[in-house]
Structure formats: C-alpha cells, structure tokens
Amino acid sequence: MKNRDYFRRSIESYNFQSIVLVSMLVAMLGFFFAYIINGFGFKTWLDSSVNLATIFFFIYRQRWLPLLIIGLPVVGGIGQFVIGRNICSVRDTWVIVTTFLTILFILFLYPLAIVEGFYFEVPYLLGFGLTFSIDMVGFIMLLITSILWFLVMLYSHEYMKHERHCNRFLFFMAMTYSAVLGTIMSGDLLTMFLFFEMMTFASYVLVTHGQKDESYSAGYNYIFMGLIGGFAILAAMILLFVHVGDVRFQSAIAVLSTLGSVRYWIIGLLIFGFGIKAGMAPVHVWLPRAHPVAPTPASALLSGIMIKVGAFGMIRVATSYFFPETFVIGTIWETMETIGFVVIWLGIITMAVGVFLALQQSHIKRMLAYHSVSQMGYIVLGIGVALYLGYKGAMGYTGAMYHIINHALFKSLLFMVAGVIYLRTRENDMYKLGGLWRKLPITAVICLIAALGISGIPLFNGFISKSILHHGIVEAYEYGHRSFYYAEWVFNVISAGTVCSFIKLFSYTFLGKLPEQYKDMKSQFMSLHIPMFVIAGLIILIGVFPRFILDGFIVPALCCTTYDPNFIQTYVVGLAFFTSEDLLSMLFVVVLGYAIFYAGKRWHLFHLHLPHWLRLEYMIFYPINRLMRLACRFMYGGQCRINPLMMSRIDLDAKNDVGFLERFTLTASVFNRRYENLIIKSDALIYTLILTGILGYLLLRI
Amino acid sequence: MIEQLPILNLVLLLTTALMIPFTQKISFKTTKLVGFTVLLTVLVSTLFILLHVQSEGAFYYHLGGYPSTIGIEFYVSILSAFFTLFVIALGTLIYVYSTRDIEHDVYAQDYGRYYTLLFILLFSMLGIVYTNDLFNTYVFMEILSITTCSIISIKRSKKNYTAAFRYLMLNEVGSLSYLFGVALIYMVTGYLNIDLAAESIQQVWHLYPANIVIALGFMIIGVSIKAAIFPFHIWLPDAHSTAPSASSALLSSIVVKVYIIIMIKVLLRLIGIDILEALNIPVFLTIIAASGMLIGSIFALGQKDLKRMLGYSSIAQIGYIVLGISLMSSLGLTAALFHIVSHGMMKAALFLSAGAFIFLRNQRAINGFNGLGYQMPISMAVFSIAGLGMIGIPGTSGFISKFNLGVAILDANQWFLLVILIMSGVLNAMYYLPIMINAFLKDNPEKNRVMQFEKLPKVMLVPIVVLGLMIVLVGLFPNSIMSYIEAAVAMLLA
C-alpha cells in the first residue's frame, strides 16, 4: 500500500515537473520569438538594458559555445549512469534538464547565426582540425532538433517504464543527440563526416534496442546501409580534397566547374551518401524496417530528426560547394541544373514509392515509416527544385526547409500517438483495432491534428509547406523542363494518397467497432500527453500563422545563400498563403484521397502485395546459387561436396527474409569451406606457377 | 655516444636471449623482470636515437671500423629510428601481455625457451631495420624465420607442427629467392652495401636490364612470401591462428611489417622509382595489392575461428600497405608507412583481446560470442575499437590511413582503386561488425547477463587498454607520428 502511494506520488510529481519544464520552454520560446520580431518592443528593451545585455553578450561571445552544446548531452548521458542506476525518476529528470539546457544555449546562438558566419576551430584533431560554423539554416535545424528532442525525452519517461535497459537507451539517445548537433554545426565535410558516422553507430543501438530477431535483421540493414553511405561521403570527400584542396563549406564552384565529369561524381556520391540517411527512393529500404522496430521515442526521433539530417547534409553540401561566391547569372549554374533535374525525379519517385507501399501496411508504425519515406520525397523534391532552377530556386529551398520543420513536428507526433496506442492495447496492427476514440479521447484528438497536418489540410502546418513545394514544382515547369508538368500531376496524386492513408489510419484505429478485449480500458491522462499537446499546439500555430517561421527564420536563411535577392523579395517574402487556387487544389486532393480510400476499402486493394521474387536478393543470388550447384554437380556427379545445409539457407523457397548481406556471407562461406583447404594444400604448385609466371612476364617485358 | 646505441641495443637483446636459460634456473619471475628491464632500456635508447636523428640527421655506423665497401654498415635514418621504436614499443606491450598468457598456451618447461626465442626475434627485427647491407639483411631474415618457426611450434600439437613446417618450407623458398636476387645484384654491381649498389645500378641498368629484372623479381617474390602478400599468403592463416596469442600478435603486427620495410628498402633505396617505372614494376604490385585486399577479406568472411579470421584480415590489410607503396608517390608512401603503424596497433589489439577471450573463456568460435561483452567489457571494447579502426571509422587510426590512402590513390589518378578500397572497407565491416554486435547486444541464455568487471589478470589487461587508447589517440592526433613518417618518406625519395 505504502509502495503504491509512493509510486503514485512520484508520477504526480513527474507530471508536475514536466508541466513546469514545458511552461518554461513555452515562456522561453515566447521571449525568444518576441526578441526576433521585436514584439512588444522586447528587443529594444533588452538591447537598452545594460546588465542583461552584458550577460547575454558575454555568453554568446564565447567561441566554445558549439563544443558546450555538443558536450552537454554527453554529460547528461554519462551522468545518468552515475546518478540514477536504479531510481528512474531522478535519472529521467537529470536527462531532461540537460536537454532543456541545450535548448537554452542553442537560443544564445541566434545573434551569431543571424549576424555573421561563425567559425570555431579545434586544431590538430583528425590531422586537419575540426571546424564548427553556425548560420541561419543550421540554426533552424538546431532549434527544431533541440525542441523536439526535449519533448520526446519528456515523453520517453513514461514510455520507457515498459522497456528494459533504460540506462543504455538513454545513453545512446544522448550520444545520438550530441552527434546530430555536431553534424548540424560542423563547418567542414570532415567534421560532418565524423559526427555523421557517430550518429549512425549510436542510433544503431537504438534500432536494435528490442533485441528481437527482427530488430537484429533491421539493424544489420540499417548499419550496413549507413556504412555504405558513409563510405560514399568519404569517397566524395577524398575527391574534393584532392581536386579542391579544402573541404570547408565554402564555394568551390570556380574550381569544380573546370573538372569535367568529376564534379558530377562528387555531388552524386554526396547525394547518394546523405540520401541513404534521408531515405531517398532507391536506397530507402532500411528505413521502413528500422523505424518500426525501435522503441517509440527513438522512432519518433529517427523519423522526426535523423532522416532530416540527411536532407540537411544534401542542402549543406550542394549550397556551399556548388553555389557561386556571390549572386551571378551565367553558366556557373549549369552543373546544378543537371543534378537538380535528377534530384527532382528522385524525390518524386521517393514520394510515390513511399505512399504506394504505405497504403499496403497494416502495422501502424511501419505505415508511418513508409510515410516518412514519402514525406522525405517532398523534401528531396524541394531540394531538387532549389538546385534545378539555379539562382531562381529560392522557392524550392523555402519549401524544403519549411517541410523539414513541419514533417519533424507531425511525424514525431504521429509516432508518439502510435506509441500510446501500443502502450494501452499492446497491439500494432490497425486492422485489429477500432473504436478507440471512446477510450483514448485525448490521443484521438491529437492524432487527428497530426493527421490533418500531414495530409495538408488548411489551417494545419502541412498545408503551408506543401503549397510552397507545389509553387516550387510549378516554377520548375514554368522556368525549366516540360516534363515537370507531369511531375505536378504526380505530386497531387501522391498528396491524395497521403490523405487516403491517414483516413485509413484514423478510421481503422479510432472509429468503428471496439474489439471485445478493450472494453474495460479506462481513459487516463498520462505525463506523456503533455509533450504531445505542445507539438499539436505548434502544428496549429504554424498552420494559422505561417508567415512567422517564414519571415523569422527562412528568409534570413535564404539571404545567406546566393539566390537572386529580387526573386526572394518578390516571390518568397511576398508569398500569399491561403489563396483560392491553393485551397481549390487542396479540395481536389482531399476528394481524390477519399475516393481512393473508398475504392480501396470496397475492393480490398489495401491487401495487395508485391511478389517476393521482385526483391533484389533473389535476382542476384538465385542465379549464383544455381550456378554453384550446377558446377558442383558437373564436377562431382551425384556427390556434391557443397554443404547442403548451408545452401538450403540461401535457397529461394526456404527462406524469404534472408537479406542481401547474409546471402553474400553465406555464399562466401560455402566457397571458402570448399576451396580454402584445397588452396592451402596445393601451396607448392601455386608457388611454382606464380614464380615462373611472374619471372616470365618480367623477362618478356624487356 | 648515441652512435653506439644501435649496436648496443642488438648486443643487449642477444645477450638477454642467451641469459634467459640461466635466469630461468633461478625462477620464472626473475626472467620476467630481466626481460622487462631490458626491453625498457632498449625502448629508452631507441627513443634517444630517434630524438638524435631528428635533431642531427641520419648517421652511419661501421661494424668493426671496416669501410662500407667490404664491411657491414648500419644506416640509422629517421625511417629506421622510427620503426625500431615502433617495433620495440609494440614488442614491449606484447611481452608484458605474454608473461601471463603463456601459462595458458605453453608448457611450464618451455617458458625459458619461449623468451629466448622472443628476444632473438626482436634482435633480428632490429637488425633488419638498421642494416644497410643486402647480405646482412638475408642473415637476419634467416634468423627471424627460424625463430618464428620455433615460436609457432612451441605449443607442441600436431596442428602447430604442420603449420610450422609449412611456414619453414615456404619461408625458405622466400629466403633463397631473396638470396638469389642479392647474388644477381652483386653480379652486376659488385657491392652488397645498399647505397653503393644503388649508385652503380643507376649507372649500369641500361646494360644489364635482364639481370636487374630477374634479381628484382626474385627479391620481391622472396619478400612477398615472407610478408604474406596476396598470392603468397597461404602459410599465414594456419601459422597465425595456431601460435600462442601473444606470438600471433607479434607475427601479425610486427614481423610481417619488417619484411615490408625490406621491400621498401629494396624498391626505393636500391633500385629507385625511375628504374622501377621503366620496368613497369608498380603496375604489377598494384594488381597484387588490389586483389589481396579483396580476396583476403572474402576468405575472412567465411571463417569460423576468430584468430584465423584475423589472419586473413591481415592479408587484406597488407594489401593496403603494398597498394600505398605501389603508387610510388610521396603521398602513397606516407599512407603505406602510416598504415604499417596503424595496422600494427590495431592487429595487436585484436589478437591480444582475442587471446584474452581464449584465456578466460576458451572462446575461439566466431558464432559463440553472444553476450561476451557483458562478461569481458574492457577487452571486448578494445576489440571493437580496433575493429572499427579496420573498417575505417573516424576517430580511429584506421580512418586516417584510409583517408590518406584514398587521397594518394586519387592523386595518382587511379579511381578504380578507390572503389576497391571502399569495397574492402565494406567487406571488413561484414566480418567485424557481427562479432561486436553479438557480443554487446545479443543475449546468451546460458550465462548471466549482468555487467561484470573484467576478470582478466592486470598484466594482460594493461597492454590491451594501452593499445586501445593508442589507436584512438593516433586517430585523433595523427600529426604526432605523421611528422616522422613524412620525414622518412622525404629521405626515401631524396
């Protein structure tokens, strides 16, 4: 009895704590935003108030502020091992307070970000020294990352009570956080690569946290795709270093444009490498596997933040290396045009693949993960437009940045909703749920807000960025290639698919008939609802006042780039939201979405699946296995010496879920078992042959 | 005074080797102490030599005062000074580790013999690095391969005898073909001293191209067999996997590298880049290296035994080093020499921690690593650091060597080698990552999965930890050793 009392009190105090922290956050952000737009004369007052100004001045003049920001989560991560091995509320408070402090210090970076390009160098590390820089684009990413991370950590306290190894989870969460912040703040490609690899490895542990078979196989997929992406970035970095001589994020187009095909290799490898992390179409395969198996707070951040870091990397490298030093019109933009063309279509393919596969899913988190792929497609499309149109690409850039912010908000909120549903029902399959709105009314409302956000309904944030991206693609058609006329159509159909998908999610889980076993469930307010309210509030606020983010953050970020200033002034600053044109096209999308949903439900289209022989593993390894067996039969007749047990594991019919790498390893080991001893035993023969061969070759050459 | 130190080092190591049977009569503890003191003394003196060479420049030492035309000559340049330091430093760490590990692997009556062999091994390696004489190199090589063979067979099992016998036979082929090459060079030039021979080769190579080519072919093949460069690697997996763990570390991280130093000396100091390029040798080396990088890794993928896998991984990594040499540019050589050091540290860390798993858990099979990270957290962590280094993750020394090698490759305009480099990195990941993942993230149903403190003896733990720290430190601050390597490369290409 006493124990239970203590338990209840600790929960309540946690509720109290989180409300305090959240209101502090809101107050802080309120002051900050007031400072930015000089609301209520706040900025003037602060600048004139001598004492406060000196304090702020002292803090933000510290050049080591980036290191402090990167180091703070690490301190939190290591500290929680020491402080709270067993007492979970103390430990979580500690972690949350450190993430909160990180937001505070990140806000201090604002004056630096807005005024000047800020450089800080740690010499000698890794041979070349690490550099950090903060500009407005980085600041936007930092702000959204830190706010979301803080809210998710608030959420994870309640959620992680039901999971094991909390210390390990929190530690690697902190490491990932620090790596993400480092990636965003890095001032050259080497530093970015260092933190990027750190992020891959730290988040790997989050993906496999469940320690089930599926998490291991998803984890293998994740880490190897991540490593391959890392190696692609490494190759691009070496190319850059050899040809340009410097990997700092500054314009290198003067040198690059003289390089011929090498420049396409550099940008291609970079986009491939960052695209893997961003879940771009042909290389998205890890994402729908890895995000659902991770614990919900981790998947909220994986989908909310980490894939955006990939998109941010693309923006960063493209706009720094491949953009001219100052605004010019001319052939210098030609490189970008070719690349942008490819990237736009990659984005559209990503959108289409994501939505198409999402419609077939029944597992809620997997469906959300496929939507992450599809929404990343929107962002990649925006980046593509930003590159394709050269100096007129500001609209695509705006759309991509805006959609990064918006998608981070509603996707992490949707994952949190999925987490609450799983926590209460222990069920992830939406076909087995229904009627939950009676039992979980708060969650249902939040889910509705997030779903309206992602479907792009007016007055919610998704509408804003989607209509900007729509403007972008229309501009790509008007100023560029004819084929983008079709791209615009695909864009609308895919938006309809998204609407349909979320009608499906909401109706299957929250509407309809309640299954028998959930009859006794009680509605309950939990501390994990608090952060969800905040995000839902942000979604609506952005949806109603879209100009704020645009004028406060994105337009200053645009001014750092070398886009045409007149274009920015006329089209981006003068952008009108909620025009009848946008609203009408949205109406069309919603109607189409509902039609797809109706058709899908009527004719059971959501249950169709692709045949498994279409998978790449089969196409490559099936013929190889057949060949090996054939060769063996040819050599030994009936007594094939290849271990049949090993072979059967890679066989087509026996196992469907053996991945590419495992098949490769198995084939390699079959080969090894068969030939290794043979090679070792025939040593003398091999030496004689090689010795005579080499000597003969050398003698013949002279 | 400092000029006498190289020969004093050699004498000290040799006398210790001869003293050990007597100290062993007193007690094993005395042997350990004497050996450790001697190694520390040699370490300090190599450090002094390095500092001296750095400030005053390279110097020659003539044994017995004979002139270099007929006598034996030591050439103590920054290359030899740095690499003797590297050999002795790693040797000391491995020695400290072996004083306890030996109990697991070797019979008690063989302790004295083992350490005698170990000191002769170090003696001959130092000799190879210092000497400036082709025939003298051959003598030290013979001593080295015979002692290595005895060290492999000291465990007295059938497997070891087979491996040792194969090692001996193949290495004899290598030594003899090297000797034959030396004879051919002597025939052309009339000198055995590298500097003098190099001078006359520069003058006469147009007259005797066939001699030079055959000599070079024999010498390269001879050294390649000993350094386990790809098609000649066949002896290595058996030898390195059956030897006692400390010796495997020694063989893989130092002994093989010493032969590569011979190769560098022969190629660059004796023949010179111009002649090599005229004879088209670099292309041939590039092909060998690139195929070794891939095939070594593919063979490593299929192994069941951890130490055997590490052996195959060495073959792939030696491919990196030879690739760097084959580019014949200052960047390539820098990368190669850096990778000698970095692979030396990483492979030593890997073999020593593998030895720790064998010592405590008798765990050799790769598929039995589930949950081992909870029982032996420290050695598994070092194993992981070294494994990540092999893959080339930034923050470890492996990344720096990979980056430098990549830069050197592109500088030589051979982008397809970059593709091979990256494929090899992915292959490395495919056999190192699963071990780490199984050890740290998978459950073992039989064993308790509460985190334990490492039960490994301190004597074994300290070298492992020091190696792990060195990998990270060199990875973070590569300039500390890069300056020596750049000086050495400048000397080689001068």
pLDDT band per the 50, 70, 90 thresholds, residue B129: very high
What per-residue confidence (pLDDT) applies to A525? 74
Q: Check whether residue A182 and residue A279 sit in a common domain.
A: yes
**Are A227 and B426 an interchain contact pair (Cβ–Cβ within 8 Å)?**
yes
Q: Write b or e for each residue in A532-566: b if 16 or more Cβ atoms lie within 10 A of its Cβ, otherwise e.
A: bbbbbebbeebbeebeebbebbbbbbbeebbbbee
Does one domain contain both A507 and A363?
Answer: yes
- A57 in a domain, yes or no? no
Q: Are residues A588 and A696 located together in one domain of the fold? A: no
Residue window 622-681, chain A: list those with CB within 8 Å of chain B: 661, 664-665, 668-673, 676, 679-680
What confidence tier does A654 reach under pLDDT thresholds 50, 70, 90?
A: very low
What does the alpha-carbon distance between residue A608 and residue B411 come to, in Å, rounded to a whole number? 52
Flag whether A477 is in a domain.
yes
Q: Between chains, do B217 and A241 touch, taking CB under 8 Å as contact?
A: no
Domain end among A553, A569, A603:
A603
The answer to whether residue A128 neighbours chain B at the CB level (below 8 Å) is no
Please report which helix (H) or strand (E) contains residue A120, including its range: strand A118-122
What average pLDDT does the segment A201-229 reach?
88
Q: Which of A683, A671, A655 is nearest to B301 (CA)?
A: A671
B109 and chain A in contact, CB less than 8 A: no
Rounded Cα distance, A479 and B340, in Å? 56
Whether residue A657 is contained in a domain is answered as yes
Q: Which has the closest alpha carbon to A95: A106, A82, A108? A: A82
Among B214, B437, B477, beta carbon nearest to A124: B477
Residues A286 and A386 in one domain: yes
Give the model's pLDDT for residue A9: 59
User: CA A391 to CA B138: how far, in whole Å?
Assistant: 68
Q: Is B387 an 8 Å CB contact of chain A? A: no
For residue A651, pLDDT over 60 is answered with no
| Pair (A539, A640) in one structural domain | no
Average pLDDT over residues B294-299: 89
Q: Which residue has the higher pLDDT, B171 or A115?
A: B171
User: Environment class of residue A458 by beta-carbon count within 10 Å: exposed (0-12), middle (13-18) or buried (19+)?
Assistant: middle
Question: Is the confidence at residue A7, as pLDDT, over 60?
Answer: no
Tell whether A32 is covered by a domain. Answer: no
pLDDT tens, residue by residue, A445-481: 999 999 999 988 888 988 988 989 988 888 888 888 7
- Please report whether residue A207 resides in a domain: yes
Find tokens 């042959």 and name the residue. A689
Q: What domain range is A624 assigned to? A: 614-701
Cβ <8 Å between B394 and A691: no
Same domain for A361 and A381: yes
Q: For residue A620, what pLDDT is reported?
A: 64
For residue A639, pLDDT beyond 70:
no
Interface test with A, best of B206, B384, B399 (most A CBs within 10 A): B399
Asked if A638 and A559 sit in the same domain, the reply is no
pLDDT for position A701: 67
pLDDT, average across residues A554-574: 82
**Window from A89-103, A337-351, A599-613 with minimum mean pLDDT:** A599-613
Residue-level pLDDT at A613: 60
Task: Tell the burial category of A636 from Cβ atoms under 10 Å away from its Cβ (0-12, 13-18, 19+).
Answer: exposed
- A585 and A643 in a single domain? The answer is no
Q: Cα dist. B407→B159, B172, B344, B415, B489 in Å?
A: 43, 37, 21, 10, 16
Number of other CB atoms surrounding residue A360 within 10 Å: 17
* Contact indicator for B390, B313 with CB cutoff of 8 Å: yes
Whole-number pLDDT of residue B360:
87
Please give the single-letter amino acid code of residue A506: F
Q: What is the end-to-end Cα distance of chain B in Å, rounded? A: 27
Same domain as A359, residue A478: yes
Q: Is residue A227 part of a domain?
A: yes
Residues A633 and A559 in one domain: no
CB contact under 8 A, A664 and B430: yes
Q: Please answer whether residues A461 and A378 qualify as being in contact, where contact means their C-beta atoms are separated by less than 8 angstroms.
A: no
* A209 in the same domain as A95: yes
Residues 27-66, chain B, touching A (beta carbon < 8 A) = none
pLDDT value of residue B472: 94
Question: Which of A467-481, B419-433, B469-483 is predicted with the least confidence, judged by mean pLDDT?
Answer: A467-481
Q: Which residue has the tokens 């191209």?
A: B209
pLDDT band at A53 (very low <50, low <70, confident <90, very high): low
CB B226 within 8 Å of CB B259: yes
Mean pLDDT across chain B: 89
pLDDT at A649: 55
Q: Is A52 part of any domain? A: no
Instruction: Read off the pLDDT of each residue in A58-75 and give the average, rounded to a whole number.
Output: 81
pLDDT > 70? residue A5: no
Residue in A closest to B232 by C-alpha: A687
Nearest chain A residue to B235 by CA: give it. Answer: A680
**Mean pLDDT of the region A589-604:** 86
CA distance B399 to B365: 28
Q: What is the pLDDT of residues B15-44, one digit of tens each?
A: 999 989 898 888 888 888 999 999 999 999
Q: How many CB pairs under 8 A join A and B?
A: 137
Report the percent of chain B where pLDDT is more than 90.
45
Task: Give Cα separations from A133 to A120, B47, B54, B126, B472 (angstroms).
Answer: 6, 40, 38, 48, 25
| Cβ of residue A700 closer than 8 Å to a chain B Cβ | no
Q: What is the pLDDT averaged over residues A187-214?
A: 90
Contact A202, A172 (CB under 8 A): yes
Mean pLDDT of A100-122: 80
Residue A573 resides in a domain: yes
CB atoms B302 and A691 under 8 Å? no
Separation between Cα atoms, residue A22 and residue A16, nearest integer Å? 10
Query: Do the Cβ atoms of B311 and B236 come closer than 8 Å?
Result: yes
Same domain flag for A127 and A219: yes
Could you read off the pLDDT of B371-416 as tens digits, one per residue? 888 888 899 999 999 999 999 999 899 999 999 999 999 988 888 9
pLDDT at A283 over 60: yes
Please classify residue A29 by burial: count the beta carbons closer than 10 Å to its beta carbon, then call 0-12 exposed, 13-18 middle and 19+ buried: middle
SS (H, E, C) A32-92: HHHHHHCHHHHHHHHHHCHHHHHHHHHHHCCCCHHHHHHHHHHHHHHHHHHHCCCCHHHHH
Average model confidence (pLDDT) across chain A? 83
Kind and range of the H or E element at B235? Answer: none
Angle (CA) B424-B429-B432 rounded to 5° is: 120
Q: Among A573, A603, A633, identify where a domain stops.
A: A603
Residues 6+ apart with CB under 8 A from A530: A15, A18, A19, A22, A154
Residue A403 token pair:
């959609």
Q: How many domains does chain A have?
A: 2
Report how far apart, in Å, the C-alpha atoms of A699 and of each of A520, A606, A694, B217, B368 are: 89, 70, 8, 9, 51
pLDDT surpasses 60 at B449: no
Per-residue pLDDT, B428: 92
* Residue of B167, B223, B224, B298 to mutate, testing the A interface (most A Cβ within 10 Å of its Cβ): B298
The model's pTM: 0.91
A616 pLDDT band, cuts 50/70/90, is low
Measured CA to CA in angstroms, residue A150 lies from A21, A80, A223, B261 at distances of 10, 16, 26, 55
pLDDT tier, A678 (very low <50, low <70, confident <90, very high otherwise): confident
Question: In the listed set A578, A603, A628, which residue is the last one of a domain according to the structure?
Answer: A603
**Using a CB-CB distance cutoff of 8 angstroms, which residues of chain A are in contact with residue B478?**
126-127
